[in-house]
Structure 1
């Protein structure tokens, strides 16, 4: 006995275990026959575990009654039961059937309010998305298995869901087709001639329609903005790794203004006097060249409060100072903050002052290794100081020489060390060789002279 579920994720074919769970199979087949599951949402998706459906309206709706069994005589169009006392039934639990394979289909059950030892089922059913789901054994009544449509199960398994497990884009049971039905219809059951349209209650539960096409953002300006944000994020992470930033998400101070297009003759005192009318100025610095001392025509002004900084920003934009119309913006620089963090971190007393690197206003948000992950007193195997390594090697060599000398005992020879003896022998050999070559040269000259006289 088989049933075909046409869902928005794909078709799913289910074979029923009629001999093991006759009541569960009859309930499921008759509900599919009257189109009770049409437009029912898929909810409670747990990746690699299971998903649940069968409530025709959805458990999040206030109009939902949780679903009714076929013996409650529900209407396929309105989804309302005419016999509320028969909405639930007691399903069959078989010990030989386990949730061992992916695609196992079982009725969702709840504990009876009258008898805690009994579990009752209605219309909701569960399909497993993984193997060996032992947690459902004894709690969900198995009545079938998926034989076709595992690609649809994979789409449901990989769907984006919210905190309650409901997919962000609706996944619905669109149609149900009974391929083989061995049961007789219960009295009062009417089968609709055609598939009913979704009810108003069902349409009210739509979040993102299953047939709605989600177009990607193709705006060139938006894509360029996204690219710049990703590039800035990557650069910030690089600066964090090399130690130029305390953390990648560091934000610039909110009470610092950036002023540019200044006249080269504008001094710090003049700029501070002009901007001090908006509030207390903590610092005003015109940035200059380190070698020449010439103004680079921009400055940073730090106010005592954020409100004073905002007031100066709105009032000083485009103002004429020393025949130059300046440009004012909020500072995006964190160089001063990074310099303060580095100097405090490198100081010996930074640890005792609290905060991150000794700065109370700066907190450490990210850390690639925990405080206790590594013993800082130890050394890495591949990073060492050459001088210290050489000294350690020398120490080990001296220890080895002393130990060998102790084993040999005191030396009785007064001869010079081996290296000095070799050096003397080499010099002596060089001297003998030079005398030998000089003697042969003189001998050759004498023989050549005698030969010359004899020829004459």
Structure 2
């Protein structure tokens, strides 16, 4: 058996569970009350997005003359909505134990606790239709008697409507007409069916806020209309890029810890920007974008910080600063090319799902310091127009073979090869590192005076002997005489994700004076001591 509800939001077709709740199906609106047009012009109210909405009170629960609705046993009048047997307005519905509000569009009878017996629940004419899945809060409280089989577009429209604090729509949603598609039961004695669909009563018209068929005044402000047009156009373009695979999602947003710097001097290099911006925090990558053919700077760059807070400080402090006689412009990056490239690479992998998510997350966690760093991203993962030395050399050789002149651009130094390896080898073939042991009592530090230069085997020996220590690192800026140690610098990458919200995450815990040997080595271009290795107690 089915019932059709014609609402101002669209038609809704409901199938009834006669075997599970025969009394509900026979006595509420979906059969006999629908037949006498009791629900005509009844409002939809108590809308809770992604949960449920309620209807069934023909006048509305907020109206002074509302009696809450009546069951068919009260013999209500379909025209006046008044009952002739007030003592029979409510009844005890059947609450099925094996049916749950697990699917969207589940229809159930709204109930209330009996005043005489708290263990009993009573119902009248009000019903509930769920707008989400697995609504367990209604199980055992609302009597399920049907499900929506057609008209889910109407449910979506109701779910998205604007409501006030009580869940009532700002513009009315009404049940305009009801049609019983199949009714095998006899009418109760005394039931009167109106000859035609009745007009809204005076009490019902008094509850109108904004009529369902009222056309609201359109926005004619040219600026707002242009803004709406641009937003719709941008949304459509994003959806197109998602469909063709250029974006992993139309709702993707750029990373919050990357700065866009433009109006640079063509002579400004990657390491120059890193040195200037490193005072605001740890820099994961600093990249001046260059033409892939000539290698000339395009005069803009992307700087990726280790945290959002460091990026924000740099944004507020570096706007309009002079660098190499050029006044730069700083803004937050709007590029998602790296995220999109990592997503595509992960999506193509046969084992992507095993790494977590559709495209995996491991590749998104990889970071590189400069172009060409070992373990960094591939050519296709970079920003567009990144300088590719091998490609430029190949084109130059091809040009020479054809008799064409070489490019007049000066040759670039090979700064990529092994540029930011963590430890470089000295003449003895051993790795040297600058090690700092963070300990509140300097006399108990395992490193002489708390700071020392040692080889990697010596460092590994200390870590094997002292198993309660963990190792982190902090980059040494070129020419810096001291290094500030923050609480976040004592954490590993996995610990940062757990402790990022703690109040002392950004607190300064120590200041380390860099030895002159290390400072002079950095100034003359030595590759030793790129990082300060920090030893601290495990958390």
Q: Give the alignment's TM-score, normalised by structure 1.
A: 0.52
C-alpha distance in structure 1 between counterparts of 2:93 and 2:33, whole Å:
15
The structure with the largest alpha-carbon Rg is: 1
CA deviation map 1:131-180 (0-9, x unaligned): 11111000000000000000100100111111111111111000000000
SS in 2 for 1:14: strand
User: Once structures 1 and 2 are overlaid, which stretch shifts more, 213-222 or 16-25?
Assistant: 213-222
- Corresponding residue of 1:5: 5
SS in 1 for 2:508: coil
CA deviation map 1:326-356 (0-9, x unaligned): xxxxxxxxxxxxxxxxxxxxxxxxxxxxxxx
- Corresponding residue of 1:139: 141
- Corresponding residue of 1:242: 316
Shift of 1:389: 8.8
Shift of 1:118: 0.2
- Corresponding residue of 1:429: none
- Corresponding residue of 2:238: none
**348, 353, 374: which one aligns with 2:505:** 374
- Corresponding residue of 2:89: 87
Residues 1:143 and 1:217: Cα distance change in structure 2 (over 3 Å): same
Are 2:234 and 1:160 equivalent residues in the alignment? no
Residues 1:220 and 1:139: Cα distance change in structure 2 (over 3 Å): same
Are 2:239 and 1:108 equivalent residues in the alignment? no
CA deviation map 1:88-142 (0-9, x unaligned): 0000011111111110000000000000000000000000011111110000000
Residues 1:188 and 1:376: Cα distance change in structure 2 (over 3 Å): same
Q: What are structure 1's unaligned runs of at least 5 residues?
A: 228-237, 245-368, 380-384, 401-456
Shift of 1:374: 3.4
Matches within 5 A, 1:242-391: 242=316, 372=503, 374-377=505-508, 390=519
SS in 2 for 1:202: helix
**177, 180, 197: which one aligns with 1:175:** 177
C-alpha distance in structure 1 between counterparts of 2:18 and 2:149, whole Å:
15
Instruction: Indicate the RMSD between aligned Cα atoms, in angstroms.
Output: 3.4
C-alpha distance in structure 1 between counterparts of 2:519 and 2:218, whole Å:
62
Shift of 1:213: 1.3
C-alpha distance in structure 2 between counterparts of 1:183 and 1:226, whole Å:
53
C-alpha distance in structure 2 between counterparts of 1:205 and 1:239, whole Å:
55
- Corresponding residue of 1:437: none
SS in 2 for 1:375: coil
SS in 2 for 1:55: coil
C-alpha distance in structure 1 between counterparts of 2:96 and 2:77, whole Å:
31
CA deviation map 1:33-82 (0-9, x unaligned): 00000000000111111000000000111111100000001111111111
C-alpha distance in structure 1 between counterparts of 2:22 and 2:223, whole Å:
61
SS in 2 for 1:154: helix
- Corresponding residue of 1:191: 193
Residues 1:224 and 1:371: Cα distance change in structure 2 (over 3 Å): farther
Shift of 1:376: 3.5
Question: How many aligned residue pairs are there?
Answer: 259
- Corresponding residue of 1:435: none
SS in 2 for 1:147: strand
Residues 1:376 and 1:182: Cα distance change in structure 2 (over 3 Å): same
C-alpha distance in structure 1 between counterparts of 2:200 and 2:519, whole Å:
83
- Corresponding residue of 1:334: none
Q: Give the alignment's TM-score, normalised by structure 2.
A: 0.44
C-alpha distance in structure 1 between counterparts of 2:160 and 2:225, whole Å:
26
C-alpha distance in structure 1 between counterparts of 2:519 and 2:56, whole Å:
76
Aligned structure 1 segments of 4 or more residues deviating by more than 3 angstroms: 219-227, 238-241, 387-398
Q: What are structure 2's unaligned runs of at least 5 residues?
A: 230-311, 319-499, 532-539
- Corresponding residue of 1:327: none
C-alpha distance in structure 2 between counterparts of 1:84 and 1:107, whole Å:
19
- Corresponding residue of 2:26: 26
C-alpha distance in structure 2 between counterparts of 1:18 and 1:80, whole Å:
27
Residues 1:207 and 1:96: Cα distance change in structure 2 (over 3 Å): same
- The higher relative CO (CA closer than 8 Å, separation ≥ 6) is in 1
- Corresponding residue of 2:452: none
Residues 1:136 and 1:217: Cα distance change in structure 2 (over 3 Å): same
